[in-house]
Amino acid sequence: MPLYYDSFKNNPPEGFNGDLNIGGLETFKKSLEKHFFSKVAVRNCSSLKNSVQLAIELDCNLSLVEMLFHFNKGTWGNLRQGKSSFAKLLRQLIKENHVHVDVEEITLFFKDSTIVINKIYDNSIAEQLENIFKQVGKHYVHLSKGLTETPYEIYIPVFEECTYANDTLIQDIEAGNHRKKDYFKYWGLYCDSEEDAVIYDLINSKIEYGDLFMLNH
């Protein structure tokens, strides 16, 4: 759908199922709560019996700048490939179950901002989460318009409007025709000073205006 739509927090997509019967889920949630300083909710957005697509919400009692400070110190998120990294926790969850488990979407609610990250290929979120937060830190001065305004919502990634139908774009993503570099081209931003969403171009480190598409359910 077009980029401009109401907050995920206020309007969760249809089809999300909170009735998860997954072995090891409570341990997974508690580990996330510990490492991300947050309260965690997990939902299933898959309608298939042999597949679980997790939508994870983390309510973090930090501002975006505070999160980046702790992330850079290595004290927030535990994202690196260690004993209890995010990717390792997900692999442990997969081993305990007899269905395919992946993360479809992760939403992080900070005190002054919300970041929504969507899956664009199998295991893409677990694989790229650390890199995404590195880029948030790297581009924060530009994202915040020279430290004058923190975006209250950031959507990762968004895609250029194509000449072919949007459902074809979604099919390409589901078929694995997108790669990790697609996380680091365009993000969607909502700012108090802007009437509509704007586009952040990571390659050129600048804010643009135009029509892009974002993933949703």
Q: What is the pLDDT of residues 132-177, one digit of tens each?
A: 999 999 999 999 999 999 999 999 998 866 544 445 444 454 444 5
| Whole-number pLDDT of residue 84 | 61
> Residue 123 burial (CB < 10 Å; 0-12/13-18/19+)?
middle
Residue 28 has φ and ψ, to the nearest 5°, of: -60, -50
In a domain? residue 20 = no
Residue 35 covered by a domain: yes
Q: How many domains does the chain have?
A: 1
User: Which residues fall within 8 angstroms of residue 86, CB to CB, at 6 or more apart?
Assistant: 32, 35, 77, 78, 79, 126, 129, 130
| Helix, strand or coil, per DSSP, at residue 34 | helix
Place of tokens 């290595």: 74
- Report pTM: 0.83
- Give the orientation angle of helix 124-138 with respect to helix 86-95, to 10 degrees: 170
Q: Could you list the residue range(s) of the whole structural domain that residue 135 is in?
A: 25-214
Q: Is residue 12 part of a domain?
A: no
Query: Per-residue pLDDT tens for 6-42?
Result: 443 444 444 445 455 788 999 999 999 999 999 999 9
pLDDT category of residue 214 using cuts at 50, 70 and 90: low
Q: Is residue 44 one of the residues assigned to a domain?
A: yes
Residue 19 lies in a domain: no
Q: Is residue 89 a contact partner of residue 31, using CB atoms and an 8 Å limit?
A: yes
Residue 17 lies in a domain: no
Give a yes or no: residue 52 inside a domain: yes
Whether 150 maps to a domain, the answer reads: yes
